[in-house]
Chains A and B, each alone.
Chain A
Amino acid sequence: MWSFYFSELIHSLPFFLKGLWMTVAVSGLSLIMGTIIGFIWGIIRASRNKILRSLIGAWVDLIRGTPFLVQVFIVFFILPGIGIELEAFPAAVIALTNLAACFICEIVAGGILAVPSGQREAARASGLSAYQQLRYIILPQAMRTILPPLVGQYVLLVKDSSVVSAIGVVDVTRVGWLTVQRIPEGIMVFGLVGILYFVICYPLINLSNILERRMTVVATKL
């Protein structure tokens, strides 16, 4: 029986690869947009504008304080109620982009605030504009603190993307769920699902570790 199911599973492999592609599409799109939005929010969060700062802070808290599954349901079921019809795929991308932006915002703000204030003062003293201070002095230094946790966060977000299977996005997890109805070998089916996630996540985890090591070496040299 086991070998029969195994060959069945091998035959389903193209289906799994389609799911893998969907996982990559959902998380890739969300990561790109989430990174851009997260950087903008993070820069504002580290700025001196109190109102914007606390608005973003409150939003980040709301998102960090609730499960991603609940957020996905809210986007998918509630936005149509106020006139925004959404397919599962865009709903998933919106929810994951927002989640990514919130986590990345905190990482970016932390990185900017970790740059010694003397750096900003020196930049201001030499007549650089606020934008120039940020672009040439603050951000390049902040990147050292930002980069390792940023890549680590990407791993978490790729894994979180599995949750969108709950609204019917046919990603790797959903493919596993559908397959297990037909091939009742949960260990085998979800073993394969696990391996496919591992293929995406493990290199990212290693990259994050390497960055962490390299960045600390640079920091101690300074």
Chain B
Amino acid sequence: MLETFNFRVILEYMPLYLQCFTATLWLSAVSLIGALSVGIVACAMRLSQSRIVSRISGIYIESIRSTPLLAQLYFFYFGLPSLGIRLPEAVTGILALTLNSGAYYAEIIRAGIQAIPYGQIEAGIASGLNYFQRMRFIVLPQALGLTIKPMLGQAIVLVKDSSLLSLISIMELTRAGQLLTSDRFMPAEGFLTTAAFYLVVYYILKSISGWSEKRLIFREAH
């Protein structure tokens, strides 16, 4: 196979790939920021004293987690216009990715907060720290330490998930592979190059994850 592998075509399409790689990166980055914000809010709502607020957030999280992202993407892509809302494809794509990963981030953050032993909070209460001080100085720093790995894991998932945006004809990495397939019928060159770009992001995020774990010395206490 390798002798027929056409590197020249890849070079020829390289500007397109770089452009699409940039698109994948910024689509993912914007969705990641959105997802983290949605996740924090949804988690705060989930842990709220009010039953209704907690229930609303629960329904959101459960319905996202029990349906595929692709169905959610089509839901917005075909659904919003039927409500008379017309958005550019990229916005629809970012919306779907944000709401999808947001639900997973909510659960990751919740697991992190609930993993903090209650004794930690009691120690804070006993020394007179108020609710916000306890959250800010005791609970959140520890929860962040516990969740950094799953958070980066979800970021990897998010970058990979952004490939589905090619199916609503957004120009990004996977779309570049599809173009090479349809224009020149060179799927091997097209999709293997696409895969290589994703792997670059994967290995970078994976090594950050490994590095951050080594740095969090206090985790040994748990």
Contacts and interface: CB of A to CB of B under 8 A. Distances in A.
Interface in B37-77: 62-63, 65-72, 74-77
Interface residues of B, number: 45
Nearest to A71: B195
Nearest to A205: B66
Contacts of B195: 62, 66, 70-71, 74
Contact of B191 (A65, A70, A161): A70
A73 B67 contact: no
Contacts of B199: 62, 65-66
B165 to A, nearest CB: 10
A193 interface: yes
Interface string A201-219: 1100100000000000000
A77 B160 contact: no
Interface in B194-221: 194-195, 198-199, 201-203, 206
Contacts of A165: 70
A73 B187 contact: yes
Nearest to A163: B70
A74 B194 CA distance: 10
B128 interface: no
A139 to B, nearest CB: 26
B83 interface: yes
Contact of B82 (A160, A184, A197): A184
B70 A66 contact: no
Task: Please report whether the interface of chain B is mostly helix, strand, loop or mixed according to DSSP.
Answer: helix
B81 A69 contact: no
A125 interface: no
Contacts of A177: 74
Interface of B: 1, 62-63, 65-72, 74-83, 156, 160-164, 166-167, 174, 177-178, 181, 187-188, 191-192, 194-195, 198-199, 201-203, 206
29 contacts: A64-B202, A65-B202, A66-B160, A66-B202, A67-B174, A69-B167, A70-B163, A70-B198, A73-B177, A74-B188, A74-B191, A77-B188, A81-B187, A82-B1, A159-B68, A161-B68, A165-B70, A173-B68, A173-B71, A177-B74, A180-B74, A184-B78, A186-B76, A186-B81, A187-B82, A188-B82, A190-B72, A193-B67, A194-B63
Interface of A: 61-62, 64-71, 73-74, 77-78, 81-82, 155, 159-163, 165-166, 172-173, 176-177, 180, 184-191, 193-194, 197-198, 201-202, 205
